[in-house]
Structure 1
Amino acid sequence: MNFSLESKGRLLLLDKPCIMGILNLTPDSFFEGSRQKNIDELLKNAEKMLSEGANILDIGGYSTRPGASEVSLQEELQRVIPAIEAIRRNFPDNLISVDTFRAEVAQRAIESGANIINDVSGGELDKKMFETVAHLQVPYILMHSRGNPQTMSQMCHYENILLEILHFFEQKIKKLRILGVKDIIIDVGFGFAKNINQNFFLLKNLSYFQILQVPLLVGISRKSMIYKTLSISPYEALNGTTALNMFALMQGAKILRVHDVKEAKETILLYRKLLES
């Protein structure tokens, strides 16, 4: 199926897969290579990602890896808002998403120039999030998770993981549609309240979620499901990321959220060539 996203007068067609580049403003993100130490470094890496083919830049100020430290609302705002304003000034025509589960951060980010809200909690950690998204009328990335970064690794038990996650999405999408949210993207949340075997099972069966008739985002870039399986470090996990991203595309992924844009772009080009042959 073909989809499109519309935000603040900008239109992104998803007739072919697109790329979301990860720019973290946190000192403790699991992959050190994604951390931006200052605005100048952020702008340099943003320019590189855009030149390599990124369609969206994803800005995050709160590490959501399992066991990550708590970050105050004020600190998250201080990290995220100046970064979004700087990217919008320097790259006025490009799409920006804000990676946050806090409604206030989401609202301030959109007001500062962001276009998309990427919520790793699916509205579970801030009950004002859905109403905020509806008021702002911007695309919303709805991710499945349980608990919070401090507790999620102890919440991996499922009776039927596919049905339970599908039910989660059905209920959340229904609430969002009632509130008037038009553009919804889903993310099954690899690594969020799932163990390694569950992550691979979800990826193997990713096409199952196409029944929801919304775009699928896949974020597996350099994650532990890759580097722990291969007994390597996140720095060595690019090859594994590329391999699994190709499989994700074959299962219907429309957006790849990645640290390495050039390699993701090449993967998409090869995938499309396969479809055309």
Structure 2
Amino acid sequence: MDTLAAAPGTGPNTTPLPVLRKPLPRATFESLPTDRAVVMGILNVTPDSFSDGGQHSSVDEAIAAGLRMFYGGADIIDVGGESTRPGADEVPEDEEQRRVLPVVEALAKAGALVSVDTRRATTAAKALDAGAVIINDVSGLEASQDMIDLVADRGAYYVLMHNRGNSRVMTSLTDYADVLDDVLAETVSVRDRLRAAGVHDEKIIVDPGLGFAKTGEQNWTLIRGIERFLDLGHKVLVAASRKRFLGELLTTAGKAAEPEQRDAATAAITAVVASRGAWGVRVHDVAPNLDAVKVAARARA
């Protein structure tokens, strides 16, 4: 096996980064496994994300963490520079790009398949230039036409996540006549905008948006109804990792479980949705979820 060379930014006061002497071939979407659900590792380059804020706040730390995920078996690394937790402040565009672009570039050069988690078309465009293949857009119903046109023009894969409003107001927008029917209809309305702009169906990945403008019980309803999303004919990504509704489920003595105590429950959901046909899961802790999708695939076989 090739030994590792020093990475940019390494030195006596920085974290050593494992970078291959011979860069691996750039990963492609077509090289993703088709015999099981794919595992997308979450890499937040932020100081304020709900679960891992501040853990990867420097570029060097983020690259090292992303490489650990990649070498640990993650199929995709999803890099984000702006927290989407309820109540989070908006990050200036230039700061978001300062956080994510060097990380995207380094991981892509190492051979990882990289997704960029952003609401902004300008950041998404620069991330694609840096080597990202997927745009993971949490803006939901507010997806900008610039973003849609970018996806069409560049042929990027696009995660269409259902959401209402932004992080400051979404918790007040949980009024649905029927949460499953309404989320599906609203998702289809954005999907149709993508189609109208020339985006091909195979480039669209649908995410029900657990935790975004949904109550805990509404999240469970969407999980129970995952087949309805599969019926749309697109790849379906489920992102339940460490979310609040899992903390509520695991309440002990009146205290909800902390985010880092929710990984086993996350893996359980991974096994459930993977066994029912979900294309992928987006998770913080790669190893147990990789095990879960392999178990689900074997059970389905």
Go from structure 1 to structure 2 and tell me whether the alpha carbon gap of 1:202 and 1:10 turns closer, same or farther (over 3 Å shift): closer
Give the CA deviation at 1:224: 0.5
Structure 1 moving runs of 4+ over 3 Å: 7-10
Q: How does 1:228-243 map to 2 (within 5 A)?
A: 228-231=248-251, 232-243=257-268
Go from structure 1 to structure 2 and tell me whether the alpha carbon gap of 1:125 and 1:181 turns closer, same or farther (over 3 Å shift): closer
Q: How does 1:2-13 map to 2 (within 5 A)?
A: 10-13=29-32
Go from structure 1 to structure 2 and tell me whether the alpha carbon gap of 1:69 and 1:117 turns closer, same or farther (over 3 Å shift): same
User: Who is 1:147 aligned against?
Assistant: 165
User: Who is 1:172 aligned against?
Assistant: 190
Go from structure 1 to structure 2 and tell me whether the alpha carbon gap of 1:124 and 1:33 turns closer, same or farther (over 3 Å shift): closer
Give the CA deviation at 1:267: 0.4
Give the CA deviation at 1:8: 9.2
CA distance in 2, matches of 1:123, 1:104: 19
CA distance in 2, matches of 1:97, 1:58: 4
Return 100-109 or 37-46, whichever deviates more: 37-46
Go from structure 1 to structure 2 and tell me whether the alpha carbon gap of 1:9 and 1:20 turns closer, same or farther (over 3 Å shift): closer
Give the CA deviation at 1:9: 5.9
User: Who is 2:278 aligned against?
Assistant: 253
AA in 1 matched with 2:169: T
User: Who is 1:263 aligned against?
Assistant: 288
Larger radius of gyration: 2
SS at match of 2:43: strand
Give the CA deviation at 1:256: 0.8
Matched length: 268
Tell me if structure 2 keeps the 8 A contact 1:22–1:34: no
With structure 2 as the length reference, what TM-score do the two structures score? 0.84
Tell me if structure 2 keeps the 8 A contact 1:123–1:130: no
CA distance in 2, matches of 1:205, 1:34: 35
Tell me if structure 2 keeps the 8 A contact 1:152–1:192: yes
> Out of 207, 214, 228, which is 2:234 matched to?
214
Go from structure 1 to structure 2 and tell me whether the alpha carbon gap of 1:12 and 1:25 turns closer, same or farther (over 3 Å shift): same
Deviations 1:109-132, CA, capped at 9 Å, x for gaps: 111111110001136153311011
Tell me if structure 1 keeps the 8 A contact 2:45–2:100: yes
Deviations 1:209-249, CA, capped at 9 Å, x for gaps: 11110010000011101012212111111111111111111
Return 21-30 or 245-254, whichever deviates more: 245-254
User: Who is 1:137 aligned against?
Assistant: 155
User: Who is 2:254 aligned against?
Assistant: none
Tell me if structure 2 keeps the 8 A contact 1:122–1:142: yes
Give the CA deviation at 1:196: 0.3
1:37 aligns with 2:57: yes
Tell me if structure 1 keeps the 8 A contact 2:48–2:54: no
Give the CA deviation at 1:35: 3.5
Extract unaligned runs of 5+ from structure 2: 1-25, 252-256
Return 227-236 or 27-36, whichever deviates more: 27-36
Name the Cα RMSD after superposition: 1.8
SS at match of 2:214: coil
Tell me if structure 2 keeps the 8 A contact 1:39–1:86: no
User: Who is 1:55 aligned against?
Assistant: 75
AA in 2 matched with 1:148: N
CA distance in 2, matches of 1:172, 1:211: 16
Tell me if structure 2 keeps the 8 A contact 1:98–1:114: yes
Go from structure 1 to structure 2 and tell me whether the alpha carbon gap of 1:36 and 1:230 turns closer, same or farther (over 3 Å shift): same
AA in 2 matched with 1:50: F
CA distance in 1, matches of 2:143, 2:291: 36
Tell me if structure 2 keeps the 8 A contact 1:24–1:60: yes
Go from structure 1 to structure 2 and tell me whether the alpha carbon gap of 1:123 and 1:181 turns closer, same or farther (over 3 Å shift): farther
The answer to which structure, 1 or 2, has the higher relative contact order (CA under 8 A, 6+ apart) is: 1
Tell me if structure 2 keeps the 8 A contact 1:62–1:76: yes
With structure 1 as the length reference, what TM-score do the two structures score? 0.91
Give the CA deviation at 1:175: 1.9
Tell me if structure 2 keeps the 8 A contact 1:23–1:60: yes
Give the CA deviation at 1:10: 4.8
Deviations 1:1-46, CA, capped at 9 Å, x for gaps: xxxxxx9965244522111000001100000278413222222222
Q: How does 1:266-277 map to 2 (within 5 A)?
A: 266-276=291-301
Q: How does 1:22-171 map to 2 (within 5 A)?
A: 22-32=42-52, 35-89=55-109, 91=110, 93-122=111-140, 124-171=142-189
